[in-house]
């Protein structure tokens, strides 16, 4: 089976983890600090805080920005659950807006229509590895004095006009889950240029301590381990080559997929898409529907996935926030999208095989 997602680690990660185990410093040690310096410098921000997962990164960021009950946070309806659950975990209200059918990213019109006196922040998601219209969204936020938080969980190394994602908003939040463009096992990260936000996040992820055993606020244990950081340091050195290979495979699919009605993802000029996922739309013009195509490919040993089958405003747990919400594009996409394997373990032979199977699906 060609899997839809899998990490690419080798002897370098094994050696790095072994070294940490031999050192006895398993939790927060020199590795976490080094990883924080290297990943934030890679993204082009002054501060970087490593933590235990991407959801924690979003949650700690929103708390540090003072988001709480009575506040509204605008975010796309078509994204992973954690983008919205982190808002609810602060006691604030997620406001779901629709996305663009071609890029799958936040629709600027929908965002403008959703702004209200209660809006305190916008979470833009660089979905599937493609930057959203970050300069425009930043401008809209700037005019109103509200925060932009970038959910860059799927977009390590993606750029917009030459600048890395995670460096545009008040903060950028990353995930290092094993199938992401780079991994630390489980892990998360916040990039920011804001001294106070950085300091606050450090406190929040470490039991609210302002100094050892002095707790001046309620916090969490959201810390990253040195084991994770050592994997992250090894992965960061390979990230650009991983992304280059993802982009090359995506290009191969763009040129070689010829199934009538199947629409490849659209890229936006000026930005570098890092293809966390390569997502096609299986439209009504296709002979088979999305689920039938997925089933045929499964029979041929090709793993696919649906990111995401239910838009967030339709999730039962968010129903109380979404009674009046209409996001027709997100709903249509949930029925059409299909992710094909694009991770760096996909070989030349794999992608040839995948294209020939799709082109022959009847």
Ligand X SMILES: Cc1ncc(COP(=O)(O)O)c(C=O)c1O
| Binds ligand X (CB under 6 A): choice among 40, 45, 55, 167 | 55
| Binds ligand X (CB under 6 A): choice among 82, 201, 262, 337 | 82
Is 35 or 80 the residue whose CB approaches ligand X more closely?
Answer: 80
| Residue 277 engages ligand X in binding (rule: CB under 6 A) | no
Is 54 or 341 the residue whose CB approaches ligand X more closely?
Answer: 54
Contact 274, 157 (CB under 8 A): yes
Is 50 or 153 the residue whose CB approaches ligand X more closely?
Answer: 153
How far, CA to CA in Å, does 48 sit from each of 25, 98, 213, 254, 258? 21, 31, 23, 35, 43
| Binds ligand X (CB under 6 A): choice among 17, 97, 153, 234 | 153
State the burial class of residue 62 (Cβ atoms within 10 Å of its Cβ: 0-12, 13-18, 19+): buried
Is 128 or 252 the residue whose CB approaches ligand X more closely?
Answer: 128
Is 277 or 351 the residue whose CB approaches ligand X more closely?
Answer: 277
How far, CA to CA in Å, does 323 sit from each of 2, 125, 326, 332? 40, 23, 9, 18
Binding region for ligand X (CB under 6 A) out of 15-23, 52-60, 161-169, 316-324? 52-60
| Residue 79 engages ligand X in binding (rule: CB under 6 A) | yes
| Residue 154 engages ligand X in binding (rule: CB under 6 A) | yes
Quote the least distance from Cβ 99 to ligand X, whole Å: 13
CA distance 187 to 223: 9
| Binds ligand X (CB under 6 A): choice among 40, 107, 170, 175 | 175
- B/e letters for 237-259, b = 16+ CB within 10 Å, e = fewer, are ebbeebbebbbebbebbeeebeb
CA distance 106 to 89: 22
| Residue 336 engages ligand X in binding (rule: CB under 6 A) | no
Is 84 or 286 the residue whose CB approaches ligand X more closely?
Answer: 84
Quote the least distance from Cβ 291 to ligand X, whole Å: 22
Residue nearest to ligand X (CB): 54
| Residue 177 engages ligand X in binding (rule: CB under 6 A) | yes
Is 157 or 188 the residue whose CB approaches ligand X more closely?
Answer: 188
Task: Tokens for 304, please give them.
Answer: 């696919």
DSSP string, 134-149: HHHHHHHHHHHT-EEE
Which has the closest alpha carbon to 275: 306, 250, 238?
A: 250
Which has the closest alpha carbon to 257: 325, 318, 340?
A: 340
How far, CA to CA in Å, does 244 sit from each of 173, 185, 251, 257, 309? 22, 22, 10, 20, 28
- Judged by CB under 6 A, the number of residues near ligand X is 14
| Residue 312 engages ligand X in binding (rule: CB under 6 A) | no
Look-up of token digits 């600090």: 33
Quickly list H helices, 165-289.
Answer: 195-204, 226-256
Is 104 or 177 the residue whose CB approaches ligand X more closely?
Answer: 177
Quote the least distance from Cβ 121 to ligand X, whole Å: 15
The site for ligand X (CB under 6 A) is made up of 53-55, 79-80, 82-83, 125, 151, 153-154, 175, 177, 188
């Amino acid at each position: 089976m060609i899997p839809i997602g899998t990490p690419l680690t080798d002897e370098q990660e094994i050696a790095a983890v072994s070294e940490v185990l031999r050192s006895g410093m398993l939790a927060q040690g020199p590795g976490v600090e080094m990883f924080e310096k290297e990943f934030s410098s890679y993204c082009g921000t002054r501060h970087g805080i490593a933590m235990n997962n991407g959801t924690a990164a979003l949650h700690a960021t929103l708390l540090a920005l003072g988001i709480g009950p009575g506040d509204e946070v605008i975010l796309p309806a078509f994204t992973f659950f954690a983008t919205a659950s982190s808002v609810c975990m602060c006691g604030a209200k997620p406001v779901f807006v629709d996305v663009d059918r071609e890029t799958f990213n936040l629709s600027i019109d929908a965002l403008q229509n959703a702004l209200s006196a209660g809006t305190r922040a916008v979470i833009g998601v660089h979905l599937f590895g493609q930057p959203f219209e970050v300069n425009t969204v930043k401008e809209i936020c700037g005019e109103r004095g509200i925060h932009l938080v970038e959910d860059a969980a799927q977009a390590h190394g993606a750029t917009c006009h030459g600048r890395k994602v995670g460096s545009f908003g008040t903060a950028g939040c990353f995930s290092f889950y094993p199938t992401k463009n780079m991994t630390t096992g489980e892990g998360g990260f916040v990039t920011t240029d804001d001294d106070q936000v950085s300091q606050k996040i450090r406190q929040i992820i470490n039991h609210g301590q302002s100094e050892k055993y002095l707790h001046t606020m309620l916090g969490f244990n959201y810390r990253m381990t040195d084991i994770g950081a050592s994997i992250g340091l090894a992965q960061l050195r390979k990230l650009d080559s991983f992304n280059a290979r993802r982009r090359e495979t995506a290009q191969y699919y763009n040129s070689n997929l010829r199934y009538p009605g199947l629409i490849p993802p659209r890229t936006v000029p000026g930005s570098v898409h890092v293809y966390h996922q390569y997502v096609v739309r299986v439209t009504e013009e296709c002979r088979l529907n999305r689920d039938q195509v997925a089933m045929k490919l499964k029979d041929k040993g090709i793993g696919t996935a649906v990111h995401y089958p239910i838009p967030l405003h339709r999730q039962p747990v968010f129903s109380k926030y979404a009674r009046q919400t209409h996001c027709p594009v997100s709903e249509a996409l949930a029925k059409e999208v299909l992710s094909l394997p694009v991770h760096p373990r996909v070989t030349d032979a794999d992608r040839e095989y995948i294209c020939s199977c799709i082109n022959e699906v009847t």
